[in-house]
Structure 1
Amino acid sequence: MTDTRMLTAEVYRDAERLHWSHRQELMPGAQVRPLWTDGGGTFLYARRTTEGNEFVRVDPAAGTREAVSAPDFAGGGDFTAAPSPDGRFAVYREGHDLWLRDLESGRARPLTTDGEPDYEYGTGPDSMEPRTLMRALGLPGMPPAVAWSPDSRRILAHRTDQRRVRQVHWVEARPADGSEPALHAKRYPYPGDGEPPLAELVVLDAESGEVVRGKGAPLVMPFFSPIQWRWVWWSADGTAVFYLEQSADHRTLRLNRMDPDSGEVTTILSETGATRVEPNQFMGAPPIVEIIGDEVLWYSQRDGWGHLYLYDVVSGTLKKQVTSGAWAVREILHVDEAERVVYFVASGLAGEDPYRRSVCRAGLDGSGFAKVIDDDLDHAVTVSENAGYFVDSASTVASAPVTTVRGWDGSVLVELERPDTTALEALGWRAPQQFRVKAADGRTDIHGVIHLPRDFDPAKRYPVIDSPYPGPQVNRLMPGFDQGFFGNMSEQLAALGFVVVALDGRGTPGRDKPFHDVSYGRLATAGSIDDHVAALRHLAETRPWMDLDRGVAAFGMSGGGFATVRAMLDHPDFYTVGVSICGSHDHRHYHQGVAEMYDGPPAETDYAKGANAEDAHLLEGKLLLIHGGMDDNVSPTHTLRLADRLLAADKDFELRIVPAADHLFIGHEHHLLRWLWDFMVRHHMGAEPPAGYRIAPTPLDMDLISGFFS
């Protein structure tokens, strides 16, 4: 097992160059983020190269793409204000209230005057607000949670009630100004707390100042503002407000209509299930609900898959199931009301990969279903501001994206980018291998990828690292070329000489409802770690270059940090090395919304069985715990509580706390990457990292950061 060699600085340097902050320089054009102009008739996008940004202007109607000089983004908007559609006004927060500014005269006046601490207007719940990150980026606060009516006359907002929500504290060991430690507090509900954050809807008149309060019950607000999460929206003509309302146990979802003149609320339709009922399988993704005149397209998993159903808005009666089959609708792109056709993204229709996304169409009467683009690639789609066309990025996990502008008939209007992987390969990157194996139950197919090490030689044997993320709100794997934050970390580890495996076990989203519900009430299984063990053993049977004899290592962040430790505790003979970063090790002390939505109500679930600290005495392998001291998503107390129990059990482990770091280690990621690499190289490869090597910090570039995580 032991390899006494020392890795060279060149190997580390190449792995560092694979970091996501360099990806667009290595593959210019691999990510196209349109900036709409002319109401969406044209758009701009930037190509990041080693020499800086290049800008391209695209006119889909003319079929042209041309390089242009850098646009003037000066005065591009105030992050903390919400401008009206006509550009005359902007809404912003002042203290605990909302204010309106006339952008021509500069005069401002209050829209509300009765806001107070923990009962204020235009804010989301404290618990998910990334205050540490915002301080690091120099941002004064989150944008106001408001939505303007299409005619710029009224503002939809909510009053946020957190007065009875639990208060949780963080100690900032060394503030940026070098002063004494500072105490920070947030309203942060735990599972079983009876009082979640609530949102009371209000409509504010920009001209008269009239306030109309919604007469429905306050909305339970477990994660973010329902306005910012797009669970509340104006009708196209501005005569109604529609909103989704989820019950406290997450098992009932209602579509309501509110009259903005009176505040009266009526329920259009309601659906209840045995487990959570969601408007989308993926947390934070737009609800798959569309109002079409006096009809509504409604997403439901009632037949075991996620499909579209057409309802009458007035009577709430079902008119037609629009889509059906052993595949899942992922997103509504556009509804052509004149042609009575809906365009949408679906997964499970591209080859044998159940996660790849296809662009499809279907008549609202359920007829005429077809794939708009007839291939087996994964399609990441952005619809133009005027809905006249869409930007399509088509790829696989192993093939670079080809980005085009397409009409709704699927025809290519303009080809934008066709990057290659030459520069990546020069740094040790190899296209990952996709696989399909059976889960631990011996029946269910599960899918994943293998990231191959640099200079891969099938005659050699390589140490294996598992990269779990248990969901159940998002997938660990991405269906296209861009493998996201965790996939990028896996690519870097592979470039150091490891085989890195990532898969989505049972209980994760994106497929059928029964597959997802395997995790309901069973978060303690960490996204079916048993499936990971079964998959790795099966893969190694036909891949002798996967060296399982030395044991398997694991690493992960957040839920993946929890899963890493859970894997080592439940399978100590299999997982022998682990790096757990900002792990949510005890759901009793984590976010109420996550635990209660995905693990069930406290009366039905024993959250203690998923607490890693309770089983700390089972640890056998080499473990490194890393946490940000100012992580205001998963409190550092999660790791410190686990460390306390490990010490009580007289277990050896390593602990690293970054005092100022947030949940994503923005501005501090270079520390955790080096610690991760060094720990894996020493304890799993049996080699030595290059002496004195330091990874350069990632620039605190808001555009770069948002571009990667969008």
Structure 2
Amino acid sequence: MIELTDADYARAEQMLAPYRARRVPGATVTPRWIADGTRFWYRAGSRYLVVDPAGGTRRDAFDHERLAAALTRGSGHAVDPADLPITALDLDRPGDGAVRFTAFGQRWQWSDRDGTCVVVEGDDPTGPDEVVSPDRAWVAFRRAGDVWVRPRDGGDGFALTEDAEPHHDYGGLPEALGARALMRALGLAQPLQLFWSPDSTRVLVHRLDQRALPEQVLVEAAPRDGGRPVEHRSRYPMPGDEAQAVMSWTVLDVTDRSVVRQQGEPYVVLHPGAMTYAWWTGAKGEAVHFLQQSRDARTLELRRLDPATGETTTLVRETGETRVDPASQLGEPTMTHVLDSGEILWWSQRDGWGHLYLYSADGERVDQVTRGPWPVRRVLWVDQDSRQVWFLATGLVDGDPYVRQICRVGLDGTGFTRLTDDDLDHDAVSPREGGHLVDRASSPSTPPRSAVLDGDGRVLVTLEEPGTGGLEALGWTAPERFRVLAADGRTPVHGLLWRPHGFDPQRRYPVIDHVYPGPQVHRAGPSFDVPHEGEPEALAALGFAVVAVDGRGTAGRSKAFHDASYGALGDAGSLVDHIAAIRELGHRHPWMDTGRVGITGHSGGGFATARALLAHPEFYSVGVAVAGNHDMGAYVPMWAEWYHGELDDEARRSLSNPALAASLQGRLLLIHGELDDNVLPSQTLRLVDALITADKDVDMLLVPGAEHALLGRMHYVFRQTWNYLVRHLHGTEPPAHRLAPLPLPGGLG
């Protein structure tokens, strides 16, 4: 039995993502390319830096101390150079060292030459509903669903479209997965998705039609103004519905204000990613290419759109018995490239692995560029002059199929070269023009070592080499990367194990499965900063052994490994593999008490949490399910239709946690935001209703005003989660410590 104190909770709080990041400054390097295309800037901790790869230099973007002093004088606020309160940094303005940024609710310009900070009027930074043209002369934005443009340096805007109507507009996202409630909570306009032509004369934008979709109503019971409950309406289709959102492409000319529409019928779109799989080709934008996926995702086409006529032509068409994906994981950039020669570089899993293929311009010839029992994970750049392609691949490091390595190969398939030859995970990106790479190399125990590499993998500029001292001072230890056999006794599966803080091998610690089942992604990767929001580290600080597992059916490996979830989506990322992994780890580590196993997760992890207690009550005894999509037959169509397949009555039952309600034996806490417009709160209430019918005890927290991310309330959700697990796994009462509201993302608050 472990008795926890306020100090333990305070240390756990510091393990959460926003605070953890501050303990490892420089771990996140996000290059932001400057308009000249040859340099980029990034932020490391409190410093802003500019990198010139060709010159091999890395320097401060400005004099932080002088800027802080000048901003203090100009604003009347005390400004710490080690914690500059600036957002929306703009380094693209002409002039000697001129930098613009937002601070204290105003726009400022700093001049290194003059050492002054002055307020700038009429230069509001672009928001998510605005897109700047490549020549930075124009800004495209939305007004009442239509596309408008305005000169970036001032002047009147004008409309490029005038026929938008409610639920049939330009550049928007599907309401069911468009994070409308989140944007509303942040006070931001809905994001605009469109593409400027390379010569900045035209705009490519989709038109989305959601008029035929059924409407969903959510009620905000306790609005901030204290008034009556407020209703929020959105269009929300479900699996099997005939009516779905449809979209088509439109080309808008800024000069003559002409409108060219895609010919043919609009096509069904089930996920916002469809709006990102389009691009201009040619130096001036002579053509548009886009990927079109069928409703069941078993057909993927590359199509060419003539921007002058709207005529479309299918160039590549691939079909399969399960999904035909455009990338290894949902949401990753497409790896399709159309070369100036008309040849097409295409990514496919047709041989059981994700590999590159080169189609001739006439489509008559297809050559495999990469091959082997490993997948290409990301195309970094294609050099058409040398006819070579740089890419990330996994499966090349013995013992871990998830470690990414940087590779190069000729478009004819010859000259395959690994440019990195270590056991670190390489998360590299490249500017659009290629020529070099910004690489972040890490492991679960090694923070990202970032550097700019040339095309041969040589270091041009070292960027950051952070350490873990700030975390270790709080009791953190690196998680263990493990490999065990799946429940089938044959297939290796991988994961991470966090030891409890203050670890004593003579003690016995309860185990928590921190779960997200995919199947569109994998989550327990081999990098330092896997996407778990720091919660496993926080739970480890509370005296738990914490495990994250990528079971069969999750993405990132072979096609067969991923397809294990097809037709078996209800298995939640193969929970039997999680059980097998925890039992095997218990044999290796006697300090893990596999008789006391809890589980928690968010969204799909919420579904998996409840499913674990309902389908495996002999193993899991405590669960906290946050925002779970507990009945996927009544969730958005994509998950069931893309990742499960045919939906008859038996299939719908297999995807329903309420159908298993009578099996509950352990302690279950269900948490949901009342304004969750992604996973509707009815998902949790359906399960509660079934549990009441089955006369089962259940705990529930419905969070007023909260959406899917529970923004602004997540600190409370974390505390309730921790308290529940402490009470029912440690068997002790939690301390009274209250967590502070978490910092908002992106400098929003």
Bucket of the pairwise TM-score, normalised by the shorter protein:
over 0.9
Q: Which residue is equivalent to 2:588? A: 542
Q: Which residue is equivalent to 2:478? A: 431
CA distance in 2, matches of 1:667, 1:136: 9
- Contact 1:55/1:69, CA 8 A, preserved across alignment: no
2:288 to 237, 241, 266: 241
- Once the two structures are superposed, the pairs formed by residues 147-296 of structure 1 within 5 Å of their partners are 147-224=195-272, 226-227=274-275, 229-293=276-340, 294-296=342-344
When normalised by structure 1's length, the TM-score is 0.95
CA distance in 1, matches of 2:205, 2:431: 26
2:156 corresponds to which letter in structure 1? R
Q: Which residue is equivalent to 1:97? A: 146
CA distance in 1, matches of 2:282, 2:298: 26
1:357 to 395, 400, 404: 404
Q: Which residue is equivalent to 2:184? A: 135
- Contact 1:448/1:502, CA 8 A, preserved across alignment: yes
CA distance in 1, matches of 2:654, 2:487: 21
- Contact 2:31/2:41, CA 8 A, preserved across alignment: yes
Q: Which residue is equivalent to 1:309? A: 357
CA distance in 2, matches of 1:194, 1:317: 37
Q: Which residue is equivalent to 2:711? A: 666
Q: Which residue is equivalent to 2:645? A: 600
Deviation digits for residues 428-467 of structure 1 (CA, Å, limit 9, x no counterpart): 2111111111111111111111111011122221111111
Deviation digits for residues 191-214 of structure 1 (CA, Å, limit 9, x no counterpart): 001121111211111111111111
Q: Greater shift after overlay, 65-74 or 194-203?
A: 65-74
2:738 to 688, 694, 703: 694
CA distance in 1, matches of 2:472, 2:542: 13
When normalised by structure 2's length, the TM-score is 0.90
Alpha-carbon offset, residue 338 of structure 1: 0.8
Structure 1 residues 344 and 667: alpha-carbon distance in aligned structure 2, compared to 1, 3 A threshold? same
Q: Which runs of 5+ in 2 are unaligned?
A: 65-98, 102-106, 108-122
Alpha-carbon offset, residue 501 of structure 1: 0.7
SS at match of 1:657: strand
CA distance in 2, matches of 1:500, 1:320: 45
Give the alignment's Cα RMSD to 1 decimal. Answer: 1.6
Alpha-carbon offset, residue 306 of structure 1: 0.3
SS at match of 1:402: strand
1:507 and 2:553 equivalent?
yes
Alpha-carbon offset, residue 120 of structure 1: 1.5
Deviation digits for residues 172-229 of structure 1 (CA, Å, limit 9, x no counterpart): 11222222111111111100011211112111111111111111331321111633x2
- Contact 1:258/1:266, CA 8 A, preserved across alignment: yes
SS at match of 2:317: strand
Alpha-carbon offset, residue 61 of structure 1: 2.1
Alpha-carbon offset, residue 554 of structure 1: 0.4
2:49 to 56, 74, 89: 56
CA distance in 2, matches of 1:363, 1:292: 14
- Once the two structures are superposed, the pairs formed by residues 229-628 of structure 1 within 5 Å of their partners are 229-293=276-340, 294-313=342-361, 315-486=362-533, 488-549=534-595, 551-603=596-648, 606-628=651-673
SS at match of 2:272: coil
Q: Which residue is equivalent to 2:74? A: none
1:33 to 30, 50, 64: 30
Structure 1 residues 10 and 304: alpha-carbon distance in aligned structure 2, compared to 1, 3 A threshold? same
Q: Which residue is equivalent to 2:75? A: none
- Contact 2:524/2:549, CA 8 A, preserved across alignment: yes
- Contact 1:232/1:244, CA 8 A, preserved across alignment: no
Q: Greater shift after overlay, 384-393 or 332-341?
A: 384-393
Structure 1 residues 317 and 605: alpha-carbon distance in aligned structure 2, compared to 1, 3 A threshold? farther
CA distance in 2, matches of 1:66, 1:538: 49
Q: Which residue is equivalent to 1:708? A: none
- Contact 2:481/2:526, CA 8 A, preserved across alignment: no
1:65 to 58, 66, 85: 58
SS at match of 2:263: coil
- Contact 2:270/2:295, CA 8 A, preserved across alignment: no
Structure 1 residues 191 and 580: alpha-carbon distance in aligned structure 2, compared to 1, 3 A threshold? same
CA distance in 2, matches of 1:136, 1:635: 17
Q: Which residue is equivalent to 1:643? A: 688
- Contact 1:127/1:223, CA 8 A, preserved across alignment: no
- Contact 1:154/1:204, CA 8 A, preserved across alignment: yes
Deviation digits for residues 389-418 of structure 1 (CA, Å, limit 9, x no counterpart): 111110111222111111111001111111
CA distance in 2, matches of 1:431, 1:464: 17
Alpha-carbon offset, residue 605 of structure 1: 6.7
CA distance in 2, matches of 1:560, 1:525: 12
CA distance in 2, matches of 1:322, 1:547: 49
CA distance in 2, matches of 1:179, 1:230: 43
2:168 to 119, 128, 131: 119
Alpha-carbon offset, residue 593 of structure 1: 1.4
Alpha-carbon offset, residue 604 of structure 1: 9.2
2:63 corresponds to which letter in structure 1? S
- Contact 1:289/1:299, CA 8 A, preserved across alignment: yes
CA distance in 1, matches of 2:745, 2:305: 41
- Contact 1:309/1:318, CA 8 A, preserved across alignment: no
CA distance in 2, matches of 1:378, 1:605: 41
CA distance in 1, matches of 2:652, 2:406: 40
Deviation digits for residues 264-300 of structure 1 (CA, Å, limit 9, x no counterpart): 1111110110101011121111111111121111010
SS at match of 1:530: helix
Q: Greater shift after overlay, 154-163 or 59-68?
A: 59-68
CA distance in 2, matches of 1:421, 1:317: 54
CA distance in 2, matches of 1:350, 1:237: 41
- Contact 1:36/1:385, CA 8 A, preserved across alignment: no
Q: Percent identity?
A: 47
Q: Which residue is equivalent to 2:39? A: 42
- Contact 1:165/1:188, CA 8 A, preserved across alignment: yes
Number of residue pairs aligned between Structure 1 and Structure 2: 692
CA distance in 2, matches of 1:33, 1:268: 34
Alpha-carbon offset, residue 79 of structure 1: 3.0
1:702 corresponds to which letter in structure 2? G
Alpha-carbon offset, residue 385 of structure 1: 4.9
Deviation digits for residues 507-530 of structure 1 (CA, Å, limit 9, x no counterpart): 000000000001001111111111
